Amino acid sequence: MRIVEIPSFFPPYGGEFCMDQAKALAALSHEVTVLAHVQLGLTVYPKGWLHARTKPSRLEEDGVCVVRTEMRGFPRSPRLNARRWTRGVRRLFAAYVRERGVPDVIHAHCCKWAGYAACLLSREYGVPYVVTEHLPASLLAEELGEPRRGIWQVEPLREAYREAAMVIPVSEELVDDLAPYFGKDYRWTAISNIVDTGFFHFQPRPSLRGRRFRFCCVANYVPRKGYDVLFQAFKRLSARCDNVELHIAGRFTAGRECRQAIEALGLGDRVVNHGELDKEDVRRLLYTCDCLVLASRGEAQGLVLLEAMATGIPVVTTDRVPRNALVEGGSLVVPVDDAAALAQAMFRMIEHYPEASASLSAKVVEMCSPQSVGQRIASVLEAATLESCVKSW
């Protein structure tokens, strides 16, 4: 198949999921082109905004052709920016068609606004499109506000969902999560995001003899990640079990607010704060720890849990994490915002520690390796092209 991928977000604002899936599809011998139109923010990225590269640039990465343009986002102008961004994507697509012809299928990442752009392109060129949805309602609410009538973004996004050949939420729970905004009047099938299981591969852990049991949490220091509950739980655990320590890493964890929260509970000698880490250092941290804990209040999927289990260690998390981020025999789940239950689950991990497990890692490979997820996505895209051909006969 000739596949055009359209991301809603791209570096410096994310987009890793799009590239992971594009590379997985390319590895299956499909011709994949990413058309990335990147809106740069004046307040968030002022230097980039001033020097925005509005002319297309092209690069090849692991068999994927990436064509990129940039636009300067106007402050406090979401409707205008959405129209301008969509026009930019349509220009990129028109250039692609002039050079290579109409692709077999469009694969958009997040309905806002890549899915909507794909919808407009489908109407214009007759090419089917599929939307993979990564965004939970909690992130949509930051821009759209709470679900209510009169939100101008909702109707065009609903249309994009309805007209898609298929919507791929990264978890089943995401469908109900987004229903207050977009309803459920569309076809969907859940497929996990990709975990780089070749990178986060199994590795045995050092013996527990003569050292503390090491918990870790890899998450940004934001309310949704539940650090306040984790710290309270760890304080309870420390009072009960002396031989433990907690390692934390993520954006904002090195900030004053996080450091003050740790000191206020008297945990300074038990919590090791690594700050924001790159992918290599996250793996290095996981390889030195025995269990990952995520006290999340909401996740679209929770890939860090799967990454930890891919390296062989179990996880403790909350009931707000989707089922496809959990593996039987490697996960303990507690109610959200319950520090006592979280502390008890962490204690159970220490008491009945299932040593780093190659079989746990193998289960994650089967669930969400690049090859596994790539094949499932390719099947959906192929079905969309076939359905389009049948309709045109």
Q: Do residues 365 and 371 make contact, with C-beta atoms less than 8 angstroms apart?
A: no
The whole-number pLDDT of residue 259 equals 96
Digit-coded pLDDT (tens) for 336-390: 999 999 999 999 999 987 667 899 999 999 999 999 999 999 999 999 999 877 6
The whole-number pLDDT of residue 150 equals 86
Whether residues 317 and 381 share a domain: the answer is no
Whether residues 227 and 283 share a domain: the answer is yes
Whether residues 10 and 158 share a domain: the answer is yes
Q: Do residues 167 and 187 make contact, with C-beta atoms less than 8 angstroms apart?
A: yes
Question: Residue 50: which CATH number?
Answer: 3.40.50.2000
Q: Over 98-112, what HEC string results?
A: HHHCCCCEEEEECHH
Whether residues 344 and 378 share a domain: the answer is no
The whole-number pLDDT of residue 30 equals 98
- Domains contained in the chain, number: 2
Whether residues 267 and 234 share a domain: the answer is yes
Query: Does residue 337 lie within any of the structural domains?
Result: yes
Helix (H, G, I), strand (E, B) or coil at 366: helix
User: Measured between alpha carbons, how far is 295 from 319 in angstroms, rounded to an integer?
Assistant: 9
Digit-coded pLDDT (tens) for 145-174: 888 888 999 999 999 999 999 999 999 999
Q: Which residues of the chain have pLDDT under 50?
A: none
Whether residues 263 and 314 share a domain: the answer is yes
The whole-number pLDDT of residue 148 equals 87
The whole-number pLDDT of residue 390 equals 66
The whole-number pLDDT of residue 271 equals 97
For 361, the domain range is 213-368
Residues in the chain: 393
Whether residues 187 and 230 share a domain: the answer is no
The whole-number pLDDT of residue 393 equals 66
Q: pTM for the full model?
A: 0.92
The whole-number pLDDT of residue 392 equals 66
